[in-house]
Amino acid sequence: MIIVRLLLTTILTISAIYAGLYLWDGIFYDPWTRDAHVRADIVETAPRVSGEITEIAVTNNQTVNRGDILLTIDKTDYELALAQANASRDEAEAQLEIARQQSSRYDTLKREGSVSVSDLAVINADLATKAAEASLKAAEAAMRVAEVNLERTDLRSPVNGIVANLAADTGDFASTGTPVIALVDTDSFRVDAFFLETQLGRIRHGDAARVRFMANGEVVEGRVEGIAPGIAVMEDVSSGLLQAPEPSFQWVRLAQRVPIEIKLVTRPKGIPLVGGATTTVIIEPAMRDERPLWERIWNRDGHRRPLSTSVAAGATGSEDADDSPPPAAAKAAPPPGAGAPPPEPARTDPPEPLPRPR
Amino acid sequence: MHHEIAFIGMLYPSLLACAVIAALIWYLVDTAMLRLGLWSYFFHPALARLSLYVVTLGVVAWLTPDF
């Protein structure tokens, strides 16, 4: 009777330990996160010329294509500047004509043997022609500048996007280089997912991902496009030349969250993509851990894949390339709660280990 | 397990729902076993009852689909 009682209790307790580890792994090691958001490039369009806004061609939240006119700046000044530049060019042309005539007259007189024309006068006339040519070129360039400035009074959209939070109004003064209209680049929608660093070992560039939108529960396909190469460390509050580690840090610590960029392979059908919208992300590792549950729990680092990209091995700690079944010696590894097993000679074995002793 | 549930406007990890469901199942099973006196077949009934809850939670979480 006591044997039965002991046996039943032991079986149930071991099952409970396995169930607990399964739950723990599912929450803290499986690559999934509820901390993910849609992200898009925000283009802050600014006019290249200053002036009063005479017309705004878009409304708030309007979709625009690359090259569409967003707003128009008062053209008066720039039309006048162009007229002035035109006149300057005409003047320079006339000056050049005068200089050429002078020069050719001197040349003719000189050829005919006139003594009233000195060599110096001929050379001076030639040089004056060249100067007038240069002036004409400068005037033409100035005219081109005036033309371009006039074109730039029409502010055009640099991207395909949507006008966001339109605050500019007709009559506002727009200054060169000061953003007036923000555009959300609709070609750049992606998901920024913050994963615990303990989950990074199971995430690789190119892995398939599923993105669930909080808005309507729609699930779309995604793909891991990149892993952030760095984040700010909260414990380092240094502002000067010396480091200033947080002195209060002793026992409890939390895993950092690392941004992973996820490209949306398909777009949601039921909701518009909104920058900042909340999503949940599950990443499906390309190489699944096919070992039985007890082995997975026993040797938790055994399935880790080598980093295939040039992403630096930072927060994930041990990056041992160990895709083969755990060698026999790993059976002597510490219990699963103790983290990565210490390096052992058996780890250098060839990929196909000997049949392990039963 | 990797899901999310909304309750009165707040969103929780679905593990919380799993825990509640597991608690209900465990309560029923535990009551039945108490009535039938089956816990006396265990060496340490308190430990066994706790273990039963954890196992129930694990099974419920395993059965709960991901999205």
CB nearest to B66's CB, from A5, A6, A282: A282
- What are the CA-CA distances from residue A163 to residues A61, A68, A148, A188, A205 (Å)? 5, 12, 25, 14, 33
CB nearest to A280's CB, from B4, B55, B58: B4
For residue A42, the cross-strand partners are A184
Looking at CA atoms only, how far is residue B48 from chain A in angstroms?
6
pLDDT digits (tens, 9 = 90+) for A218-270: 999 999 999 999 998 877 777 888 888 777 767 888 888 999 999 999 999 99
Q: Give me the half-sphere count of Cα atoms (radius 13 Å) on the Cβ side of residue A354.
A: 8
For the cut 70, the answer to whether the pLDDT of residue A332 exceeds it is no
A322 in Cβ contact with A288 (< 8 Å):
no
pTM (2 decimals)? 0.71
Residue A158 confidence (pLDDT): 94
Predicted complex: ipTM over 0.85: yes
β-pair type (A154-156, A208-213): unpaired
What one-character-per-residue DSSP string does A223-270 give?
Answer: EEEEE-S----TTB---SSS--B-TT-SS-----EEEEEEEESS--SS
Task: Provide mean pLDDT across the span A20-24.
Answer: 88
Q: How confident is the model at residue B14 (pLDDT cuts 50, 70, 90)?
A: confident
Residue A329, token pair as written in the block: 């010696």
For the cut 50, the answer to whether the pLDDT of residue A357 exceeds it is no
- What are the CA-CA distances from residue B42 to residues A7, A60, A87, B24 (Å)? 8, 70, 106, 22
For residue A249, the cross-strand partners are none
Q: Quote the DSSP letter at residue A222.
A: E
Residues of A with a Cβ under 8 Å from any B Cβ are: 2, 4-6, 8-9, 12-13, 15-16, 18-20, 22-23, 26-27, 30, 32, 34, 210, 212, 214, 217, 219, 280, 282
Interface contact A22-B58, CB threshold 8 A: yes
For the cut 80, the answer to whether the pLDDT of residue A296 exceeds it is no
Show Cβ contacts of residue A12 under 8 Å, excluding neighbours closer than 6 positions.
B42, B48, B51, B52, B55
Q: Quote the DSSP letter at residue A108.
A: H
Residue A17, token pair as written in the block: 């330990």
Interface contact A22-B48, CB threshold 8 A: no
Interface contact B52-A12, CB threshold 8 A: yes
Calculate what percentage of chain A has a pLDDT beyond 70: 81
> CB distance from B7 to chain A under 8 Å?
no
Task: Provide mean pLDDT across the span A83-109.
Answer: 94
Residue A341 confidence (pLDDT): 45
Chain B residue with minimal CA distance to A282? B2
Q: How far apart are CA A227 and CA A318, in angstroms?
A: 17
pLDDT digits (tens, 9 = 90+) for B18-57: 999 999 999 999 999 999 999 988 998 999 999 999 999 9
The conformational region for residue A222 under phi > 0 = left, psi -120 to 50 = alpha, else beta, is: beta
Chain A residue with minimal CA distance to B2? A32
Looking at CA atoms only, how far is residue A52 from chain B in angstroms?
47
Show Cβ contacts of residue A136 under 8 Å, excluding neighbours closer than 6 positions.
A89, A92, A93, A95, A96
Interface contact B51-A212, CB threshold 8 A: no
Residue A308 confidence (pLDDT): 55
> CB distance from B16 to chain A under 8 Å?
no
Q: How far apart are CA A161 and CA A183, in angstroms?
A: 6
Helix (H, G, I), strand (E, B) or coil at A72: strand
CB nearest to B47's CB, from A2, A13, A22: A13
